[in-house]
Amino acid sequence: ESDLKRLLLARKDRFTQTLSEKLLTYATGRAMTFRDQGDIKKIAEQCAVNGYGLRSLITEVVLSETFRRP
């Protein structure tokens, strides 16, 4: 097992939160701000509840207020 894989598995929550932020940045076309951090945390938490699946992460991003807010 690679060191990177071990590190990522040890920090699943942080990795998921960072990936959520990057997906939201791409999806909205703007940088995330402090105001968006609550949604990012909720997305990561819900993704963890659902087993850390990519489909779950994308679904949560699309359903978030940050994504749907104009």
- What tens digit of pLDDT does each residue of 4-59 get? 888 878 889 999 999 999 999 999 999 999 999 999 999 999 999 999 999 999 99
Instruction: Count Cβ atoms below 10 Å from residue 44 Cβ, excluding itself.
Output: 23
pLDDT band for 70, please (50, 70, 90 cuts): confident
The beta-strand segments (E) located in 1-70 are none
Residue 30 region by backbone torsions, left for phi larger than 0, else alpha for psi between -120 and 50, else beta: beta
pLDDT at 2: 86
Write down the pTM of the prediction.
0.85
